Amino acid sequence: MANIHSFESMATLDGEGIRYGVFFTGCPLRCVYCHNPDTWFGSSNEYTAEQLANKIKRYKPYFKNGGGVTFSGGEPLLNAAFINEVYPFLKAEGINYCLDTSGSVPLTEEVKECIDHADMVILDIKFFDEESYGKYTGGAFKNFVEIGKHCSEIGKRLWLRTVVIPNINDTEEQIKKYAEFAKQFIYEKYELLAFHTMGFFKYENLNIENPLINTKPLSKEKLCELQKIIDNAQ
């Protein structure tokens, strides 16, 4: 059984083609800029592996041009053993899956198996240095590095992402360091995402302190300029 926060049908951002998004609950991180703090906690939506696979299969006709299911969250790799149970059902239907992960868990054998079965992995590079990573996420820096290196070593398709937050990691010098840091991985693309405030209402509803309540969204213009630095470094 696994606890599912929500689903998104006909998604187009988290992987190739049209995708069905499965958002697990639970996350070992507490990023100060988290857009989905509602996924930190459990819900009443529990599924067996077969039940989830049957739900996904209904969308199979739409999985064209590389489409499939994306396991996200929260942190999907907290549910690596469960995803490994779902995999045979998906394989039988010819449905691929993508992992959209922060890489915030240890690289155990069941996590390796989960990654190995994935068609591709989308990995967050939250910060390029251990001090900032600990300060702003509360997590273990080495975990996502080991997962990124594992993906590279086995030839897994890898996309990288970084959320850019005003006054935290939005200088050109910092972005150059992200680009340099990413060179240890073998990846297809590296995308910067803009910090936004659309999830602020979730903090209010959950009565959780929002550390960035006074932070403004990153402008599209600045995001484009910083993305050029990443693109030119590849």
Res 18 pLDDT > 80: yes
- For residue range 3-17, list pLDDT tens digits in order: 999 999 988 889 999
d(CA 29, CA 102): 9
**Contact partners, residue 201, CB within 8 Å, separation at least 6:** none
Cβ atoms 75, 101 nearer than 8 A = yes
Residue 234 reports pLDDT greater than 80: no
What's the CATH fold of domain 2-233? Answer: TIM Barrel (3.20.20)
User: What is the band of 101 on the pLDDT scale with cuts at 50, 70, 90?
Assistant: very high
Domain ranges of the chain: 2-233
Where does the pLDDT of residue 31 fall: very low under 50, low under 70, confident under 90, or very high at 90 and above? very high
CA distance 52 to 93: 13
* Contacts by residues 178-182 (CB-CB < 8 Å, ≥ 24 positions apart): 178/125, 178/128, 178/230, 179/229, 179/230, 179/233, 179/234, 180/128, 180/233, 181/125, 181/128, 182/125, 182/230, 182/233
| 102 closest CA partner among 129, 79, 72 | 72
Q: Indicate the pTM of the whole model.
A: 0.96
The pLDDT of residue 64 is: 82
* Predicted pLDDT of residue 13: 84
Q: What is the pLDDT of residue 52?
A: 97
pLDDT of residue 166: 97
Would you state the pLDDT for residue 42?
78
Write out pLDDT tens, residues 118-154. Answer: 999 999 999 999 999 999 999 999 999 999 999 999 9
The pLDDT of 20-25, averaged and rounded, is: 96
- Is residue 44 pLDDT above 80, yes or no? no
Q: How far apart are CA 111 and CA 103, in angstroms?
A: 10
The label of the residue with tokens 């591709």 reads 120
| Residue 12, pLDDT score | 86
Cis peptide bond prior to 74, omega within 30° of 0? yes
Percent above pLDDT 90 for the chain: 94
- Residue 89: its pLDDT value, please? 97
Q: If you average pLDDT over residues 163-172, what whole number do you get?
A: 98
Q: Strand (E) positions, the chain?
A: 2-11, 19-24, 46-47, 68-72, 97-101, 120-124, 157-164, 189-194
Most confident of 33-47, 64-78, 161-175: 161-175
Q: Decide if pLDDT at 167 tops 80.
A: yes
The pLDDT-based confidence of 61 (bands split at 50, 70, 90) is very high
d(CA 125, CA 145): 9
pLDDT at 208 over 80: yes
Residues 54-60 have a mean pLDDT of 96
Secondary structure (DSSP) of 114-131: HHHH-SEEEEE---SSHH
